[in-house]
């Protein structure tokens, strides 16, 4: 939609206009569970009024970690060949990023691999606790036997260690274990998430508001309003991601996400280029 000043954006509940933030979490079919051409993802970003979009497909991993959800190491060149031509012309602008996992023992590889890559943005994500892909629908049955609180505790311990590596720019889907509805009570959440947010702040990382949670059983974006508020209090910057695995999902519910950010106390979101951040106001008039 076009607000009065001609810049594309959302008209908020109180009548002010918010800019459409870029979508910084977008996959490609190379990850084996997404569909659609990269040009169609970009076109959807344009239709939604975005100025830029960043592809962040799941990183290749020669160690054999979670091979069914990522490009083969030999396909990395193909990833560059998909994204590079879109960067040469057309709009919105296209950034090159990656969703890099953190898991026990990954650090040596991730550090040396990232060093030589031309990324604008590196998302850091925890998808596994030990050998369990806790957000994988095909491994969902394990939740029935799981101690939910224990899962959250282990998850946050991994997330804190991820921040401590200083290898990643943005924490992806910060409270991912809630995906299928296994929430943590607010008291334990406060107790366990705050030290992790402190480590994220100390690592000078941002977090994303990831709207894919709205498409899942949990029915809310990652992270929750409570976590966002605690992150905002610590000055942890935010960006936005749809976690699109199909072109139609680009910019999914970003109007609601911007409102959520404002409600949590945020006034700015961040943009990335060459892994450097700049801030931009959420509301432009």
Site for Zn ion in 195-214 (CB under 5 A): none
Q: In angstroms, give the least distance from the CB of 6 to Zn ion.
A: 34
Peptide bond into 223 cis (omega under 30): yes
Q: In angstroms, give the least distance from the CB of 77 to Zn ion.
A: 20
Which tokens in the block code for residue 266?
A: 């945020």
Does 52 help bind Zn ion (rule: CB under 5 A)? no
Q: In angstroms, give the least distance from the CB of 158 to Zn ion.
A: 15
Site for Fe ion in 117-146 (CB under 5 A): 125
Radius of gyration of the chain (CA): 18
Are 206 and 236 in contact by the 8 Å Cβ rule? The answer is yes
When the beta carbons of 18 and 95 are compared against Zn ion, the nearer one is 95
What are the residues facing 83 on neighbouring strands?
none
Does 208 help bind Fe ion (rule: CB under 5 A)? no
When the beta carbons of 243 and 249 are compared against Zn ion, the nearer one is 243
Site for Fe ion in 224-263 (CB under 5 A): 243
Find the part of the chain contacting Zn ion (CB under 5 A) among 39-47, 194-202, 240-248, 274-282: 240-248
Site for Fe ion in 81-110 (CB under 5 A): 99
Size of the site for Zn ion (CB under 5 A): 1
When the beta carbons of 61 and 243 are compared against Fe ion, the nearer one is 243
Which tokens in the block code for residue 189?
A: 């959440």
**Which of the 8 DSSP states describes residue 246?**
S
Find the part of the chain contacting Zn ion (CB under 5 A) among 114-122, 161-169, 190-198, 238-246: 238-246
Cα 249 to Cα 40, 67, 225, 232, 281: the distances in Å are 11, 24, 22, 26, 24
> Over the range 28-60, which residues count as b (16 or more CB within 10 Å of their CB) and which as e?
bbbbeebebebeebbbbbbebbbbbbbbbbbbb
Cα(first)–Cα(last) distance of the chain, in Å?
Answer: 15
The entry of Zn ion, Fe ion, none that residue 209 binds, CB within 5 to 8 Å by partner kind: none
Q: In angstroms, give the least distance from the CB of 31 to Zn ion.
A: 5
Q: In angstroms, give the least distance from the CB of 203 to Zn ion.
A: 19
When the beta carbons of 18 and 221 are compared against Fe ion, the nearer one is 221
137's torsion region: left (phi>0), alpha (psi -120 to 50) or beta? alpha
Does 243 help bind Zn ion (rule: CB under 5 A)? yes
CA dihedral of residues 258, 13, 42, 240 (deg, nearest 10): 0
Q: In angstroms, give the least distance from the CB of 13 to Fe ion.
A: 29
**Under the rule (CB under 5 A), what is the footprint of Fe ion?**
99, 125, 243
**Under the rule (CB under 5 A), what is the footprint of Zn ion?**
243
């Amino acid at each position: 939609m076009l607000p009065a000043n001609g810049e594309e954006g959302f008209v908020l509940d109180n009548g002010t206009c918010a800019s459409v933030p870029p979508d910084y979490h977008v996959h490609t079919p190379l990850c084996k569970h997404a569909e659609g051409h990269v040009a169609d993802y970009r076109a959807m970003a344009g239709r939604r009024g975005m100025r830029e979009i960043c592809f962040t497909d799941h990183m290749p991993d020669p160690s054999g970690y979670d091979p069914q959800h990522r490009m083969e190491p030999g396909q990395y060149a193909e990833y560059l060949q998909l994204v590079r031509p879109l960067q040469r012309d057309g709009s919105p602008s296209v950034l090159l990023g990656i969703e890099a996992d953190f898991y026990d023992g990954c650090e040596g590889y991730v550090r040396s691999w990232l060093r030589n890559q031309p990324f604008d943005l590196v998302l850091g994500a925890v998808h596994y606790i030990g050998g369990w892909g806790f957000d994988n629908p095909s491994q969902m049955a394990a939740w029935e036997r799981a101690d939910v609180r224990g899962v959250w505790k282990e998850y946050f311990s991994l997330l804190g260690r991820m921040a401590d590596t200083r290898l990643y720019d943005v924490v992806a889907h910060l409270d991912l274990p809630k995906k299928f509805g296994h929430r943590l009570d607010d008291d334990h959440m406060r107790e366990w998430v705050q030290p992790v947010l402190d480590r994220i702040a100390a690592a000078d990382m941002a977090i994303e508001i990831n709207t894919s949670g709205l498409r899942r059983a949990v029915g809310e974006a990652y992270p929750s309003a409570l976590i966002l508020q605690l992150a905002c209090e610590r000055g942890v910057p935010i960006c936005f991601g749809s976690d699109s695995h199909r072109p139609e999902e680009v910019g999914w519910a970003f109007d609601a996400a911007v409102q959520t950010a404002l409600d949590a106390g945020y006034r700015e979101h961040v943009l990335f280029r060459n892994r450097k951040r700049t801030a931009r106001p959420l509301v432009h008039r």
